């Protein structure tokens, strides 16, 4: 995990997922909207002795998710694990959230997870094995000035439940993770006070990944 220190702190939880999988021997295909970030994480895995490549772009675009999956199949022949952890936050009072902002929120969180899960599905069905982790959030229970984020995370919980039923007959197990973590996005939402102190002191992003036992 020391390789992640070159990235801004607190780092995103998805970085910790990627580093942990790489450390445990998985070949990791890293995606992020920012190419330099995806490449830095892939490099950190490789420098630590693992195997990783970067395929950047927005998962809200089906062409990008198709490219991620096709690149993975072309280079590594199979896909065993999908971790859906793309997310953005657009905070604001409910009446002030524009239709464009709401669509953007659903595009990244919900469409992104849907797109990738649907793209990997035929490959997992063919090999009769797959593990899909959809990262929701404790925010699905509601939080102030974040109605769009709460809706998006609630939709991800519903998606994971639906896919868990559809996937089981094919050897595909689907779980949802609803964490609280000290990430850059969290510190933008909760900037001070006792809740901020609690998260900062007790919920590092690196603690999220070991929760999943897919």
pLDDT attached to residue 132: 97
Task: Report the distance separating Cα 33 and Cα 165, nearest Å.
Answer: 30
pLDDT attached to residue 214: 45
What CATH number did the domain enclosing 148 receive?
Answer: 3.40.50.720
pLDDT attached to residue 115: 97
Residue 141 lies in a domain: yes
Residue 127 lies in a domain: yes
Structure tokens at 120: 């990997």
pLDDT attached to residue 139: 72
Q: Domain containing 84: what range? A: 8-211
pLDDT attached to residue 3: 32
CB 11 within 8 A of CB 4: yes
Cβ-based burial of 170 (10 A; exposed 0-12, middle 13-18, buried ≥19): middle
pLDDT attached to residue 144: 75
Residue 2 lies in a domain: no
0.85 surpassed by pTM: no
Task: Report the distance separating Cα 105 and Cα 125, nearest Å.
Answer: 29
Q: Please tell me whether residue 213 adopts helix, strand or coil conformation.
A: coil
Residue 40 lies in a domain: yes
DSSP state of 11: P
One pLDDT digit (tens) per residue for the chain, 214 residues? 223 334 334 456 778 889 889 989 999 999 999 999 999 999 999 999 999 999 999 999 999 999 999 999 999 999 999 999 888 888 889 999 999 999 999 999 999 999 999 999 999 999 999 999 998 877 777 777 889 988 999 999 999 999 999 999 999 999 998 766 555 555 555 555 565 555 555 556 565 555 544 4
Q: Please tell me whether residue 175 adopts helix, strand or coil conformation.
A: strand
pLDDT attached to residue 128: 98
DSSP state of 59: T
Give the neighbor-by-neighbor strand order of the sheet with 81-84: 81-84, 130-135, 172-177
pLDDT attached to residue 74: 97
pLDDT attached to residue 27: 97
Residue 143 lies in a domain: yes
pLDDT attached to residue 195: 58
82: part of which helix (H) or strand (E)?
strand 81-84
Residue 3 lies in a domain: no
Contacts of 86 (CB under 8 A, 6+ apart): 14, 31, 33, 59, 108, 109, 112, 113
Task: Report the distance separating Cα 205 and Cα 182, nearest Å.
Answer: 5
- Supply the residues annotated as catalytic: 149
Residue 1 lies in a domain: no
Kindly tell me the sign of the dihedral angle through the C-alpha atoms of 111, 28, 14, 56. negative
Structure tokens at 163: 């896919």
Q: What total of structural domains would you count in the chain?
A: 1
């Amino acid at each position: 995990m020391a390789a992640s220190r070159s990235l801004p702190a607190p780092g995103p939880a998805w970085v910790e997922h990627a580093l942990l999988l790489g450390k445990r021997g998985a070949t990791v295909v890293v995606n992020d909207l920012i190419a330099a970030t995806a490449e830095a994480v892939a490099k950190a895995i490789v420098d630590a002795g693992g195997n990783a490549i970067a395929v950047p772009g927005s998962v809200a675009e089906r062409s990008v998710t198709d490219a991620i999956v096709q690149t993975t199949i072309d280079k590594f022949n199979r896909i065993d694990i999908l971790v859906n952890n793309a997310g953005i936050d657009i905070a604001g009072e409910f009446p002030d959230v524009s239709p464009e902002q709401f669509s953007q929120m659903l595009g990244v969180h919900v469409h992104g997870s849907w797109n990738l899960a649907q793209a990997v599905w035929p490959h997992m069905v063919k090999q009769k094995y797959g593990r899909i982790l959809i990262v929701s959030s404790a925010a699905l229970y509601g939080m102030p000035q974040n109605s769009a984020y709460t809706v998006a995370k609630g939709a991800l919980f519903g998606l994971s439940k639906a896919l868990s039923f559809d996937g089981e007959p094919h050897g595909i197990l689907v779980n949802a993770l609803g964490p609280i973590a000290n990430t850059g996005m969290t510190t933008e939402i909760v900037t001070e006070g006792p809740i901020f102190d609690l998260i900062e002191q007790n919920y590092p992003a690196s603690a999220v990944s070991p929760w999943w036992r897919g």
